[in-house]
């Protein structure tokens, strides 16, 4: 084994050629970098999925032209609404703190949730 000879960081095969190379070829380099990025990507995907499901559940409440719907918290949880994830928070005109999932704003009042759509988010 010659001094300074290294193995590919991706496939662990001995690297031929220049001693400063870290990978045997571009596909090994890409594979290695994609692997490193994966946990972050998976996290973003997971959160996006949860947020979009939350939004779909809220959207499903608005079957009429009403702007505000009162619904049991349990009903949302049964549909796997995840209260840990939301897009932003804001106060409404009455100074009440609202949690948002995109264009839907809601307030949890004990067992019921007041949901409004297209509420101004003061941004
Ligand atoms: Zn390789």
CB atoms within 10 A of CB 120: 10
**3-class DSSP state of 60:** helix
Tell me the pLDDT of the chain averaged across its residues. Answer: 88
**Measured in angstroms, how far is the CA atom of residue 24 from the centroid of ligand 1?**
4
- HSE-CB at 75 with a 13 A cutoff on CA atoms is 14
pLDDT in tens, 32-57: 888 777 777 888 889 999 999 999 99
Cα separation values, 42 from 36, 45, 49, Å: 11, 5, 10
**Measured in angstroms, how far is the CA atom of residue 39 from the centroid of ligand 1?**
21
- Per the CB < 8 A criterion, the answer to whether 82 and 69 are in contact is no
Strand partners, 70: 114
pLDDT of residue 4: 60
Strand partners, 98: 90
pLDDT of residue 2: 47
**Measured in angstroms, how far is the CA atom of residue 4 from the centroid of ligand 1?**
17
**Measured in angstroms, how far is the CA atom of residue 10 from the centroid of ligand 1?**
5
**Measured in angstroms, how far is the CA atom of residue 5 from the centroid of ligand 1?**
14
pLDDT of residue 41: 81
pLDDT in tens, 77-89: 999 999 999 999 9
- DSSP state for residue 30 in the 8-state scheme: H
pLDDT of residue 43: 85
pLDDT of residue 96: 87
**Measured in angstroms, how far is the CA atom of residue 13 from the centroid of ligand 1?**
6
pLDDT of residue 123: 42
């Amino acid at each position: 084994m010659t001094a300074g000879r290294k193995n590919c960081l991706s496939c662990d095969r001995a690297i031929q050629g220049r001693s400063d190379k870290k990978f045997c070829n571009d596909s090994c380099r890409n594979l290695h970098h994609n692997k490193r990025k994966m946990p972050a990507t998976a996290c973003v995907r997971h959160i996006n999925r949860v947020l979009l499901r939350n939004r779909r559940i809220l959207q499903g409440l608005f079957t009429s032209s009403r702007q505000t719907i009162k619904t049991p918290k349990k009903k949302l949880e049964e549909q796997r609404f995840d209260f840990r994830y939301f897009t932003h928070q804001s106060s409404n005109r009455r100074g009440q703190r609202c949690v948002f999932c995109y264009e839907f704003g809601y307030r949890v009042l004990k067992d019921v949730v007041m949901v409004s759509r297209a509420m101004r988010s003061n941004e």
